Structure 1
Amino acid sequence: MKLIDTKIVQRTMGKRLIVNNLLKGLFLSATLFGLVVLAVLLYRMFTQGIGYVDWDFFNNFASRRPERAGIKAALFGTLWLMAVTAPVSLILGVGCAIYLEEYAKKNGFTRFIQINIANLAGVPSIVFGLLGLTVFVRLMDLERSVLAGGLTMSLLILPVIVVAAQEAIRAVPKHLYEASYGMGATKWQTIRRVVLPAAIPGILTGSILALSRAVGETAPLIVVGAAAFVAFVPDSLLSSFTVMPIQIYNWASRPQVEFHEVAAAGILVLLLLLLIMNSIAVLIRNKFQKRY
């Protein structure tokens, strides 16, 4: 009987090992495929666009002549837009998550709100653009400005930040709450000095993804009035603007091959901006991870 059981176990383990190796190879192939596609994309963009990335490219405005085309207006427009989007979305998103997790009663209405917030993360971006056009551009009379675009993009990424912040707050160990209350701290003192610092790594992880999406979005900004051709740098929140994805699309849609190379140079600058933003966020996240 023991011999039969041993043979059955060996046969079953053999099948399990085969399935395990097949799945391991499948996952490795998927990873390698993604890396190869990324490498090809980066190689193509680098070889086509590196020749245009110089000081003049950063200092010139858009032009109908590819040798004089620059990304200055779009770069500064993107920076202005993120200066509005990042603080508004982070403050509202984290504030909403704190209320839902720490103060709101756990009832059917709260669950209904959380379900709708999670569903909003999957709504097409063009819908948020139409909402921004109706509320910010027309109703609030902000016109086609940086402020209207920034508030629209904040609405777009707000659900992602709320969900990420909620999960990060839930992951804070309960004994930290108990220790804080045991020392006589109030609820707000516990949240501000214990919960938020411990949850910052998780909050920043979701915020990095959300802000990266905001940098690369074009549909909502086109709806609220971001221009395709701007020959000036925004000087206030009520100025007209353009952003790098719109400018890159403008260059890529032109028939001249030279403009396609200029678009590749713009993509390299956009990737560099994303890398800088993400690096800053990762450094802050790692600092708090080591502390907590």
Structure 2
Amino acid sequence: MIGWEFILLYLAAGSIAGFLAGLLGVGGGVVIVPILMFIFAAQHFPPDYMIHLAIGTSLASIMFTSVSSLRAHHAHGAVNWGIVKRITPGILLGTLAGTFVVAKLPAGLLKGFFIVFIFYVATQLLLNLKPKPTRQLPGTGGMFVAGGIIGMVSSFVGIGGGALSVPFMTWSNIKMHNAIGTSAAIGFPIAVAGTIGYLLNGLPIKNLPPWSIGFVHLPSLAGLVVASMLVAPFGARAAHKLPVTTLKKIFAVFLYIIGTKMLLNSIY
């Protein structure tokens, strides 16, 4: 039986992730995974599979929440479906393949990869780094490779891919507005392929927590989805009223703190 305190923590995690996603356009997985790690540790989940469960559950939540984001961007004509069509095959293969690689990785190595990624995203936000548009989108082969890389990294860290796909598209002279909208659409196949992969790879594991299907923990998934979908619109509204540049820097510091705490927990 899951205590009410943990159900409330799942809802709080979803609320934080949803608000930040709506406010800053930052994928909720960057926040969801470390928060779930802390909650799972308090519940004494198996340490060897804690981060696998956090990432799998994060991707499963994105499968639901990305739909509302995708619909909103499509309604504003911001989704370039031609790009989505060309990059999706690579996305699907890269994400699915990545989940099979992750299943074989020790928890410590996977956690180290995630910590490095957190510091990367934090630095990108803090310095407001944006690649200069220097070229056009690559051909079919190049789009497949790009999709594969984005999908594989996303499967390693439990995100919808925006931290990689938006810079890739803006570097290729796609307007920021369209890059963000198209990235929201790309997040759905990443989440679907990632969820399937984490489900399949976790099924043979015998000592996972109750209410888990593979590496997806259903109670935390329910809390994340309900709260994030309810709160995300408030974050989007706040984005039009608050100094987003300052908030990005504050959030970057928050990520540095989370990354540092995870690093110290790994060392000591």
TM > 0.5: no
Q: Which has the larger radius of gyration?
A: 1
Greater RCO between the two (CA within 8 Å, min separation 6)?
2
Length-normalised TM-score, structure 2: 0.31
